[in-house]
Every structure is written in structure tokens, then in C-alpha cells.
């Protein structure tokens, strides 16, 4: 393989890694308790426990329904002593709309929130990426 091809491949890899990092977004996440079976997207259909509602920032007149996000806690949004569970992330499916006033961009199911953060924190700052 020629030197030009190696350089091209290295640049391509770097660009791919950079574009993946650019897609990460941050915002507040809160949680709601079960049952999770009634939603704006799917009515009474059961979508399992790893679900989320989204605020106007992601809702886009219902176009968010069915999208999946990988979510991880990056820090607390209040004075909770150890809000995040380091290294944990969860993939959630958008099934609902969080009406104003919504305290987070993501309104995670209690099960999903508990995977990444201490429930006592109540509200955390998360990083979320489409998957």
C-alpha cells in the first residue's frame, strides 16, 4: 500500500472519530415512575422498561418517536453527593412527549435512570447520542 493511501486512511479514521464526537449532546435528565405503557407515540403498547419521553428540544412534532439514544450521566444537576454511576450507559427508546414544564430534555423511565444515576439525585446532566 502506497504512502498516499496510508495517509488517506489515517485522515479518514480521524474524521470519523471527530464526527462521532460532534454528535454528542448534553442536557438535563429526570425520571418518571412506572407504569410506562401509556405514551404519546404508542398509546398502551408496552415498549419495555428502557424508554424515555423527550421535551420540545427533541420532540419535533412526533418525529422523535422510536428513535434510540445512548445516555450516560456526566454530573449532577443539584447537590446530590454521588449522582452518577461511573461507566454506565443505557440505550432508551423515545416513546413519549414531556410537556412543559419539563424538567429535562430527557424524561427517562425510572429503570433507565437507575442504570446511570442514583435515584436520590432526581436530576442529572447527561450526554446522549443517537444510536
Instruction: Decide if 73 is inside a domain.
Output: yes
pTM: 0.81
Dist CA 42 CA 47 (whole Å): 8
Total count of domains within the chain? 1
Instruction: Decide if 80 is inside a domain.
Output: yes
Contacts with 121 (C-beta within 8 Å, 6 or more apart), sequence order: 76, 77, 78, 80, 83, 84
Which range marks the domain in which residue 68 is found? 24-130
C-alpha cell read off for 6? 496510508
Taking CA atoms, 106 is separated from 48, 124, 131, in Å, by 17, 10, 15
Residue 64 CB burial class (10 angstroms; 0-12, 13-18, ≥19): buried
Hey, is 19 helix, strand or coil? helix
Instruction: Decide if 97 is inside a domain.
Output: yes
Instruction: Decide if 56 is inside a domain.
Output: yes
- For the stretch 42-78, pLDDT in tens is 999 999 999 999 999 999 999 999 999 999 999 999 9
Give the CATH number of the domain where residue 101 resides.
2.40.40.10
Instruction: Decide if 9 is inside a domain.
Output: no
Which has the closest alpha carbon to 54: 43, 44, 62, 45? Answer: 62
Which has the closest alpha carbon to 122: 11, 33, 22, 52? Answer: 33
Dist CA 73 CA 121 (whole Å): 11
Instruction: Decide if 17 is inside a domain.
Output: no
- For the stretch 69-114, pLDDT in tens is 999 999 999 988 999 999 999 999 999 999 888 899 999 999 999 9
Amino acid at each position: 500500500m502506497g504512502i498516499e493511501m496510508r495517509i488517506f486512511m489515517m485522515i479518514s479514521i480521524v474524521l470519523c472519530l471527530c464526527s462521532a464526537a460532534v454528535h454528542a449532546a448534553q442536557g438535563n435528565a429526570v425520571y418518571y415512575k412506572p407504569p410506562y405503557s401509556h405514551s404519546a407515540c404508542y398509546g398502551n403498547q408496552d415498549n419495555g422498561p428502557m424508554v424515555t419521553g423527550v421535551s420540545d428540544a427533541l420532540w419535533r412534532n412526533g418525529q422523535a418517536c422510536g428513535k434510540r439514544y445512548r445516555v450516560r450521566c456526566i454530573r449532577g444537576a443539584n447537590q446530590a453527593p454521588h449522582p452518577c454511576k461511573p461507566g454506565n450507559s443505557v440505550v432508551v427508546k423515545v416513546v413519549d412527549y414531556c410537556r412543559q414544564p419539563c424538567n429535562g430534555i430527557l424524561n427517562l423511565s425510572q429503570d433507565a435512570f437507575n442504570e446511570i444515576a442514583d435515584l436520590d439525585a432526581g436530576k442529572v446532566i447527561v450526554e446522549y447520542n443517537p444510536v
